[in-house]
Structure 1
């Protein structure tokens, strides 16, 4: 992937190297402790629930006692910063390309104005308005503060543990999280959250989560289609690497790798085949409407 000439985002918040891993006000930040995070993570995996939802919910409940207000005030004081290392610059370039594409595509195709989110780079653990962010959770988007949280050690894990990797594969991960921001701007995330609250079973709630994740995969493809049409950043083998990464982080493959049996009702992100299908759908069409997983 030829990323060096892409537009650089001004919306990067680099918390790497901060004391306490970027946690404001100490390791807890007024929220839950690491021991609780570990327990909730195990419970979420066992029940087939996205651990970040449990962790974020518990942390937000904890902050209702007053600690969260301090974190919120401190968070508003943070300023965007320009990373100087190669990985940080790569992330800023991918974000910049996403901003350039979506500022045109979203109004043109959907009649919705684009507002850029911030991307927070961190090491190990940091605060978010959705709860404590830690590297074990992987990259995620918080709709409350409209920020993407990324510990780039996830890219190393993709390559070493999951068999994926390469610049375009990493760009796909970043753009998937931007896809969640697009879903939020389209009003899809709030609707899904309400539907999950009314769901009659865990399987029904999980199915809604899968649709959200697959749509974000497709929207990552929409970015790549439109961005490449403008700047021709894709190189031979890039798409294959992204597909390999989509397959590597499918729920079925991760469950097999964990030594367990495949339980489709517990999927929260989609199977390897589904993630590949929707990524390629967006790559081929470049249209947001082709990513509507809720019509299928």
Structure 2
């Protein structure tokens, strides 16, 4: 889903913590290769807070580097650079949810968004690059390491297309919406299994990502951030949703599938709920908490 070249981006909505110096902190396993195991653990439900403890490392806070995103000013920049694409997607998500939710009587305080590399500190604990993208309700912030998107493509077989990446950002913002409407806590009450609260929460966030994609190219009162969806865009998003399905990750990691260990849902479920949001554009169609999923 490409950006309109003339769309005006607001880089102030994303904090850049890359290159802030790590002191004695570091990357679990020494980088991408060793990080695959940690990433699999995260996607299977391991809390980012304990990842540092697993390797006796304590990542330190990176300082903000506000100037590094200063060039992310137009949609053309978002099409050329991944970090600018994250900025543009955040801008689009804030514009959409800031308009959509109040129509349903829900206020939308913007979440924070952070781009980091190697390690950073959050209200949910210290996190390294191996965590992948995540939302921390304690500081209402979505965290993104751009290196994850390469891993998603090369290790887990996702498409490298724009909407594959934008879907990931939209999913994390979906968790912020869940925090606002009161469904996010179900993940902690029932954390594991094919019909668990955790799986239902993750599938609802996929559905919310689909709702955003449904409306992202609407003109509204001005130029939309994104161009109209193509079938290729939809396939890109579905490939990313499939790549992070619990069954696919378990099969890759252990050679077998154990539904009782699921925390995010199968590849098919994640695709199905993204498409439900995309096709309906309706929050009411994203009720994953009623009946079988």
Verify same fold: TM over 0.5: yes
Pairing partner for 2:18 from 16, 19, 23: 16
Name the residue aligned to 2:119: 125
Name the residue aligned to 1:64: none
Pairing partner for 2:170 from 175, 183, 202: 175
Pairing partner for 1:237 from 221, 228, 232: 232
Tell me, what secondary structure is at the counterpart of 2:113? strand
Give the conservation status (yes or no) of the 8 Å contact 2:17–2:65: no
Seen in structure 2, the aligned counterparts of structure 1 residues 7 and 116 have a Cα distance that, compared at 3 Å, is farther
1:99-114 correspondence to structure 2 within 5 Å: 99-109=94-104, 111-114=105-108
Seen in structure 2, the aligned counterparts of structure 1 residues 191 and 45 have a Cα distance that, compared at 3 Å, is closer
Name the residue aligned to 2:77: none
Pairing partner for 1:142 from 128, 136, 147: 136
Give the conservation status (yes or no) of the 8 Å contact 1:7–1:96: no
Pairing partner for 2:45 from 50, 73, 86: 50
Gaps of 5+ in 2: 73-80
Tell me, what secondary structure is at the counterpart of 1:188? coil
Shift of 1:184: 0.6
Give the conservation status (yes or no) of the 8 Å contact 1:2–1:235: no
Give the conservation status (yes or no) of the 8 Å contact 1:246–1:272: yes
TM-score calculated relative to the size of structure 1: 0.78
Give the conservation status (yes or no) of the 8 Å contact 2:112–2:142: yes
Seen in structure 2, the aligned counterparts of structure 1 residues 275 and 5 have a Cα distance that, compared at 3 Å, is farther
Name the residue aligned to 1:211: 200
Seen in structure 2, the aligned counterparts of structure 1 residues 182 and 277 have a Cα distance that, compared at 3 Å, is same
State how far apart, in whole Å, the 1-side matches of 2:108 and 2:172 are. 15
State how far apart, in whole Å, the 2-side matches of 1:7 and 1:286 are. 25
Tell me, what secondary structure is at the counterpart of 1:95? helix
Single out whichever of 98-107 and 181-190 deviates more from structure 2: 181-190
Seen in structure 2, the aligned counterparts of structure 1 residues 118 and 259 have a Cα distance that, compared at 3 Å, is same
Shift of 1:259: 3.4
Deviations 1:108-138 (A, max 9, x none): 13x1011111111111111111011111111
Shift of 1:90: 1.1
Name the residue aligned to 1:190: 185
Tell me, what secondary structure is at the counterpart of 1:295? coil
Seen in structure 2, the aligned counterparts of structure 1 residues 289 and 95 have a Cα distance that, compared at 3 Å, is same
RMSD of aligned Cα (Å): 3.2
Tell me, what secondary structure is at the counterpart of 2:126? strand
Tell me, what secondary structure is at the counterpart of 2:106? coil
Give the conservation status (yes or no) of the 8 Å contact 1:222–1:286: yes
Which structure shows the higher helix fraction?
1
Name the residue aligned to 2:89: 94
Give the conservation status (yes or no) of the 8 Å contact 1:7–1:97: no
Seen in structure 2, the aligned counterparts of structure 1 residues 104 and 242 have a Cα distance that, compared at 3 Å, is same
Give the conservation status (yes or no) of the 8 Å contact 2:28–2:52: no
Give the conservation status (yes or no) of the 8 Å contact 2:135–2:175: yes
Pairing partner for 2:149 from 155, 161, 168: 155
Gaps of 5+ in 1: 21-25, 60-66
